């Protein structure tokens, strides 16, 4: 099995990912709600066999299991596997790598790749993970793959008032240039790859998928001030969600989101 980058492993072994989508990171709830809405739109009705690759502590797996889907999580971090099993009694999980799945060919109805593509800095590794997803999917089945936008670090750290720090700005500049983000400064994200929307679509298509489209997840909402207060207000929460949905497929706005979602079908 391929090895996970050690800096990434150490980052996730801290155990903080389990609360991130609940608000451990300010805009995590926006990411979760928008991602679940998009999954629901494209996945089709339960029951289906869903392989959640890089599924972390199982937040999406538990959400799907509550709706009657049969979900199996694959994640390279043993702590995440334990947390995913504990997240829902119907969720199964195993340690594994997106680039070398043990599942049989044409064995599942949907694959979620909601983490692997933005932790595989080398393009060959991303294509290998996408190829494995295509292999295990049944004909005409759906892929939902997340990526981090190329400019997410720039925008997020500007709003967070950290872009002026001398050890932060070079990391952001390098990520804009090459996509590779090496989060070595204190308090930043770990090693990652930040996609341009067109490159994400191209990689999915090159891996053999059909009908590939790229949508923005959070839209401009991840930049709003005082997010937690505004999210707690039902009217403002729906406004933030509407702002994301109304521009989700606008090419000129895709890169203004923190996360991107590629949706595609395996060949029929």
Give pLDDT tens digits for 248-264: 999 999 999 999 999 99
Beta partners for residue 130, in sequence order: none
Tell me the C-alpha distance between 105 and 141, whole Å.
12
The structural domains of the chain, with segments of one domain joined by +, span: 6-149+196-265
Instruction: Tell me the fold of 6-149+196-265.
Output: Rossmann fold (3.40.50)
pLDDT of residue 184: 75
Q: How many CA atoms lie within 13 A of 123 on its CB side?
A: 12
pLDDT of residue 131: 98
Over residues 190-200, mean pLDDT: 97
> Residue 222 pLDDT > 70, yes or no?
yes
Over residues 36-57, mean pLDDT: 97
Percent of the chain residues past pLDDT 90, beyond the cut: 92
> Residue 185 pLDDT > 80, yes or no?
no
Tell me the C-alpha distance between 187 and 98, whole Å.
27
Give per-residue pLDDT as tens, 111-165.
Answer: 999 999 999 999 999 999 999 999 999 999 999 999 999 999 999 999 999 999 9
203 vs 25, higher pLDDT: 203
φ, ψ of residue 97 to 5 degrees: the values are: -130, 140
> Residue 24 pLDDT > 70, yes or no?
no
Are residues 228 and 23 in contact, defined by beta-carbon separation less than 8 angstroms?
yes
Q: What is the DSSP string of 119-177?
A: T--SHHHHHHHHHHHHHHEEEEEEEEEEEEETTHHHHHHHHTT-TTSTTTHHHHHHHHH
pLDDT of residue 25: 59
Give per-residue pLDDT as tens, 128-138.
Answer: 999 999 999 99
pLDDT of residue 1: 72
């Amino acid at each position: 099995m391929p090895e996970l980058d050690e800096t990434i492993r150490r980052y996730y072994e801290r155990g903080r990912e389990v609360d991130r989508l609940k608000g451990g990171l300010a805009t995590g709830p926006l990411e979760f709600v928008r991602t679940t809405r998009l999954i629901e739109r494209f996945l089709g009705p339960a029951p289906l066999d869903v392989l959640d690759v890089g599924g972390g502590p199982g937040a999406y797996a538990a959400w799907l299991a509550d709706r009657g889907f049969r979900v199996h999580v694959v994640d390279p971090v043993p702590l995440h596997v334990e947390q995913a099993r504990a997240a829902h009694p119907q969720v199964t999980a195993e340690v594994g790598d997106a680039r070398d799945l043990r599942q049989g060919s044409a064995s599942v109805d949907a694959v979620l790749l909601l983490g692997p593509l933005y932790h595989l800095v080398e393009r060959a590794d991303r294509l290998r993970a996408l190829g494995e997803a295509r292999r295990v999917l049944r004909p005409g089945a759906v892929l939902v793959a997340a990526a981090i936008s190329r400019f997410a670090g720039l925008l997020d750290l500007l709003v967070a008032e950290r872009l002026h720090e001398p050890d932060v700005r070079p990391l952001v500049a390098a990520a804009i240039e090459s996509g590779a983000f090496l989060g070595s400064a204190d308090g930043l994200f770990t090693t990652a790859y930040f996609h341009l929307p067109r490159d994400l679509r191209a990689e999915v298509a090159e891996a053999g998928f059909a009908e590939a489209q790229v949508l923005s997840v959070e839209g401009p909402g991840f930049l709003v001030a005082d997010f937690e207060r505004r999210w707690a207000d039902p009217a403002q929460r729906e406004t933030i969600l509407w702002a994301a949905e109304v521009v989700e497929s606008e090419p000129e706005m895709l890169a203004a989101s923190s996360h991107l979602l590629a949706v595609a079908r395996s060949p029929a």
